[in-house]
């Protein structure tokens, strides 16, 4: 799939995410729209995983460490055929549904339950180290939020990843400059994340537009070609990307659109897909 097709797919999936959140009356729309281009690329060309290979020991592993962006994750997995889209859209966040408000590993294709920030990368390090010990070729992809970088466990994992030379580990930081309560640099400054990770011994690609599949695909390709160090992609994204009044607003981290906002957002997103 080329970059244009991936962007169209991501925007179509934004429409499903909007529907799911509006109908359920809950969800994290800002982080979903920030990360959905990254997830769309990973599951449509980058990672070696499919609905037929969810139990294959050689499959690539994926962990959504910023688990609150689960609506984007469910939409991308449904689109790839891991489960029916209607099951997600029809039951999301309802009593008894497996489609709960954070990733649920009872669903096919979900490796790890996440939501408590700061745990995905440490587990990803373990998965990548296991591949090395078992002499397997699979890669491990972990997506983190930039607010999540305030968790100390993340930095222990960055250190361990370099220590063990885990070049089969790819950490993607969704660098949208916002977290739940405001700008990341006001809440807990991360500064130049790429520079920090280089000092930690990681191979780093700074992606200027982390909502552009063309730039993301190039970065993922680079990671596959380089050996010796773990890889980090610092993806400079826009939180809420795709809807004018949602993007770059901390208040939309966990805000649910009312009817008027839903209709306006839907109109804007449909305009993007054409
Ligand atoms: C350990 C932990 N502390 C607090 C929270 C509450 N929380 C949920 S999302 C969030 C902000 C995350 O910001 P960021 O990682 O930047 O995500 P994004 O901007 O991509 O939505 C917080 C603090 C949590 N889920 N886990
Ligand atoms: Mg953020």
What are 124-141's pLDDT values in tens digits?
A: 999 999 999 999 999 999
* DSSP state letters, 222-234: HHHH--SS-EEEE
- Whole-number Å distance, alpha carbon 32 to ligand 1 midpoint, is 12
Nearest CA to ligand 1 atom 15: 145
**Given pLDDT bands bounded at 50, 70 and 90, which one contains residue 191?**
very high
Ligand 1 atom at minimum distance from 180 CA:
11
Residue whose C-alpha is closest to residue 82's, from 41, 124, 111: 111
Residues whose CB falls within 8 Å of the CB of residue 65, separated by 6 or more in sequence, listed in order: 114, 117, 118, 119, 120, 121, 124, 142, 143, 144, 145, 148
**Per-residue pLDDT reduced to its tens digit, 88-121:** 999 999 999 999 999 999 999 999 999 999 999 9
How is the chain split into domains, by residue range? Answer: 3-273
Ligand 1 atom at minimum distance from 176 CA:
19
Residues enclosing ligand 1, CB less than 6 A?
30-31, 34, 66, 68, 115-118, 145-148, 174, 176, 178-180, 239, 253
Position 205 scores a pLDDT of 98
- Whole-number Å distance, alpha carbon 13 to ligand 1 midpoint, is 22
Note the pTM of the prediction, 2 decimals. 0.98
Ligand 1 atom at minimum distance from 237 CA:
20
274 pLDDT more than 80 = no
Task: Estimate to the nearest angstrom the gap between the alpha carbon of 157 and the chain centroid.
Answer: 18
Mean pLDDT for all residues in the chain: 98
Mutate-to-test residue for ligand 1 from 65, 68, 184, 185, highest number of ligand atoms within 8 A of CB = 68
CA separation for the pair 45, 28 (Å, rounded):
26
The architecture that CATH gives domain 3-273 is: 3-Layer(aba) Sandwich (3.40)
> Residue 110 burial by CB count (10 A; 0-12/13-18/19+): exposed, middle or buried?
buried
């Amino acid at each position: 799939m080329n970059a244009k097709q991936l962007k169209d797919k991501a925007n179509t999936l934004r429409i499903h995410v909007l529907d799911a959140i509006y109908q359920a009356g809950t969800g994290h729309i800002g982080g979903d729209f920030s990360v959905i281009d990254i997830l769309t690329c990973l599951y449509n060309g980058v990672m070696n995983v499919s609905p037929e290979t969810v139990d294959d020991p050689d499959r690539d592993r994926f962990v959504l460490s910023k688990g609150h962006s689960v609506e984007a994750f469910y939409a991308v997995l449904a689109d790839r055929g891991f489960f029916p889209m209607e099951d997600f859209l029809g039951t999301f966040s309802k009593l008894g549904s497996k489609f709960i408000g954070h990733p649920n590993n009872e669903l096919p294709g979900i490796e790890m339950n996440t939501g408590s920030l700061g745990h995905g990368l440490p587990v990803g390090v373990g998965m990548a180290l296991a591949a090395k010990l078992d002499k397997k070729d699979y890669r491990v992809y972990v997506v983190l939020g930039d607010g999540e970088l305030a968790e100390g466990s993340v930095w222990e994992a960055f250190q361990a990843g370099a220590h063990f030379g885990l070049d089969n580990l790819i950490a993607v930081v969704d660098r949208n400059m916002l977290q739940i309560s405001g700008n990341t640099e006001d809440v807990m400054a991360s500064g130049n994340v790429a520079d920090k990770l280089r000092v930690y011994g990681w191979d780093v690609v700074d992606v200027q537009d982390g909502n552009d599949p063309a730039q993301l695909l190039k970065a993922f390709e680079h990671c596959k070609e380089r050996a010796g160090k773990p890889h980090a992609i610092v993806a400079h994204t826009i939180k809420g990307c795709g809807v004018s009044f949602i993007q770059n607003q901390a208040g939309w981290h966990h805000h649910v659109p009312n009817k008027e906002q839903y209709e306006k957002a839907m109109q804007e997103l449909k305009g993007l897909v054409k």
